[in-house]
Chain A
Amino acid sequence: MSALARLRGGLGSTAGVYLVLLGVIVVAAVVVAAAGRNLFTPGNLTVLMTSIAVLGFVAIGQTLVILVGSLDLSVAYLVSLSSVLAAGTMAGASGGTVPGIVTALVATVVIGALTGCLVAYLQLSGFIASLGVGLLVAGYLASYYRGTTGKASPELAGFGSASIGPLPVPTLLMLVCLVLAVVLVGRTRMGMHLLAVGGDAHVARMSGVRAGTPVVVAHALSGLCAGIAGIVIVARLGVGSPTVGEQGGYDLLSIAAVVLGGASLAGGRGSLWGTLGGILIFAVVDSAMGILQVNPFLKEVVRGVVIIAAVALYARRAAPLVRRRFAAAAGPDPAEASAATAAGPTAPVTEGAER
């Protein structure tokens, strides 16, 4: 384990994520090959790339929120809200494309920012604030929409089905957004503040960072990403649906993808590239099961096993990293003392949803 840790070097736990991804790809390829099929046909790869777009967008926003030490459980409802607003506003007309997209995104960004304000200035835990806001939206959706609504404009539908080479355009856009988010976190002042507040809000405040702003920005961006995900769904399905986000389970799955990507739920640690790895792990497993025509309910079972097993693998590895960077932030943590009991003099971890 320690040799592995040294090998990882500056890459941190992200390399571990991609090692697991590699393992998952190998296992999936072998299993698919054993059934006489091929995981790597262009068709299968296109399906895989298409499948990561929506969860990818949601998970980018979720990563930012988790990095700042909060949590966003409202994304599933925001995806649905965005889809019905966008499809409802454009109603199949070409002229409605821009108003539809703008309406949907403004709504989700404002709601995200509102959640952020509750977390930042009322100091609610992100879990509670986003659960509450998400439920508010859920009631609105259930009360005002019955079944699918609206229609995608021809332009948007074209965007949904277009692809450049092997890459579907929505997935390409997702990757561009991912790079933008990486730049935001790694290269800008706001990104530094985001990590600082996530690592330890108190220390950040003492160092002169306005601790509220990064939280609001992260939640607003999470709303934005969920909104884009909803629009991508409209582009794909051609209609908006008030239940599409909940059915996709994007709230919990995006959190799982972020944690699979090596991020700490306590905040301050994690990377967007890791999240991409987490999404790809999901996508590879899903795509292999899709080729093998596994029962959709059993897919859920496999997903659950993969989430637990993969996170169990990193939870041990990530430990030393935490001590070096955020020893003070480790603080009182439920997992910590139990870990010490269980595994002797190893370093504490900061996993645990404290905020």
Chain B
Amino acid sequence: MTGTVAEPAVTRYDPSRPPLATRIAAGLATPGGIVWVLLVALLVAVVVYNPQLAAPEQFLRLIARMAPVAIVAVGQYFVLVSGEFDLSMGAVIGVQVVLAGTLIGDDPSRILPVVLLMFAVAIVVGLVNGLVTTLLRVPGFITTLGTMLILSGLTFYATGGSAGQNPAEEFRVLGRSGLELPILGYLPWAVVVLVVVVAAAAWLVRRPFGRLLLLSGDNPRVAHLAGSPVWWLQTRAYLLSALAATVAAILLVGYAGVHPSVGSGYEFTAITACVIGGVVLGGGRGWLLSAVAGALVLESLFTLLNFVGVAATWRPTVQGAIILVAMAVTVLRTIRRRRPPAAEVPPRSEPGAGEGAPAPATAPQQPRGT
């Protein structure tokens, strides 16, 4: 698992580029890569504990249950890599769920206008978060804490804190049901939505927007001097996170029903997922797909503990422990990475050489110490 050449910089500029297998092994050794190994291991464990889940249909249902968290993590990813936090995502989910529940009611013809309204609300929230943070220079942590209080206060005020009526069944289709397919058997819409959201986000990350967003999170001054509008990049990141929360809310209406506290805690779960996926708080580093994998890891871990018979009350402890472990691993690797890469790091051609692998990454830099 541990790679021979862990540094993307080395692989990129080294004229004798190591073979694909080596590069994959190296990628898996990074915090953003190890999470995939963890995910596969956890999913295998889940299936072992509950063999019914081996059927594609049941397995896809499992993924569908994880979709809202993963989508929220996608939104949080954009804000985190830009160097800020979005604490308002859970409150946005609450607002949207209640909006859908109260405005759609039993009338399917209202679905389209209400969905448009929900996205308009998301755009307003994202713009406020982004512009207050960038133009008024309020720290994003405080801005989104404020909007969180405002939105959740309004939601609870409007509903009195009690569960609301579920909207028309046609609206809940996305979160509840799926598509009958010949080979897979059953494809939940939530999985389709998840794939579409992740694909769109992955495309955005590859676009100039995504590249500049990472740059502006890493070093806003350089980004500014290079001519990119940092304030607008960060504002768009907040827009994306509010939109992602809205999509998650639409799924949650179908899956969980209408209650103002449906979204509570989602912001910290999403931050946890991103951190497990190797996204660095403070901005500039992290892979989108690994953040999604982080969300899936978190959810499959909860599922597994559920199967094993651990009480649900221990969920926070598990979440806390996995955050600390994941971060400790990330930090240890980052400390190692900070040592200047020795020029003579040899590209190993035999990826299978497991036991000798860690040595080259550390050995040349020994004199530096920590």
Docked complex Cα distance between A186 and B108 (Å): 65
A332 at interface, CB cutoff 8 A: yes
A-contact bits for B65-84, CB 8 A (1 contact / 0 none): 00000000000000000111
Structural contact, B138 and A351, CB atoms closer than 8 A: yes
A23–B141 alpha-carbon span in the complex (Å): 25
Inter-chain contacts of B314 with A (CB < 8 A): 139, 142-143
With A132-B323, A338-B220, A342-B134 in contact, do A265 and B316 touch (Cβ < 8 Å)?
no
A-B pairs with beta carbons under 8 A, tally: 207
- Residue A133 CB within 8 A of the other chain: yes
How far apart are the CA atoms of A299 and B153 in the complex, in Å? Answer: 7
User: Which one of A123, A259, A308 lies within 8 Å of B147 (CB-CB)?
Assistant: A308
Q: B216-235: contact bitstring with A at CB < 8 Å (1 yes, 0 no)?
A: 11111111110001110010
Q: Is B320 an interface position by the 8 A CB rule?
A: yes
Q: Is the CB of A124 within 8 A of B137?
A: no
Which residue of A128, A299, A354 has the most chain B CB atoms within 10 A of its CB atom?
A128
The CA of A343 and the CA of B224, in the complex, are separated in Å by 13
A127-B281 contact given A252-B145, A305-B146, CB 8 Å threshold: yes
Select A134's contact among B157, B271, B320, beta carbons within 8 Å.
Answer: B320
- The listed residue (B87, B156, B161, B323) touching A252 by CB distance below 8 A is B87
Q: Which residues of A contact B149 (CB under 8 A)?
A: 300-301, 303-304, 307
Chain A residues within 8 Å of B84, by CB: 334, 352-353
Contact of B134 (CB < 8 Å), options: A131, A133, A319, A338? A338
Chain A residues near B242 (CB-CB < 8 A): none
Q: Is A247 an interface residue (CB 8 A)?
A: no
CB distance from B176 to the nearest CB of A (A): 29
Report whether B141 and A255 are in contact in the complex, using a CB–CB cutoff of 8 Å.
yes
Q: Interface residues of B: mostly helix, strand, loop or mixed? A: helix
Tally of contact residues, B, Cβ under 8 A: 67
Q: Mark A283-318, 1 if CB is under 8 A from B, else 0.
A: 000000000000101111111110110011001100
Residue pair A334, B220 in contact (C-beta under 8 Å): yes
Whether the pair B142, A122 counts as a contact (CB closer than 8 A) is no
Min CB distance A264 to B, Å, is 8
Nearest CB on A from B351, distance (A)? 30
Across the interface, A300 reaches (CB within 8 A) one of B141, B150, B219, B271, namely B150
How would residues 125 to 168 of chain B score, 1 for a CB under 8 Å from any chain A CB and 0 otherwise? Answer: 00000001111111111110111111111101100010000000
Which residue from chain B places its CB closest to the CB of A316 in the assembled complex?
B137
Of B10-18, B41-49, B324-332, the one contacting chain A is: B324-332
Give Cα distance in the complex from A349 to B220, angstroms: 12
Pair A307/B146 contact, Cβ less than 8 Å:
yes
Q: Write the chain A residue with the least CB distance to B323.
A: A132
Q: How far is the CA of A138 from the CA of B314 in the complex (A)?
A: 8
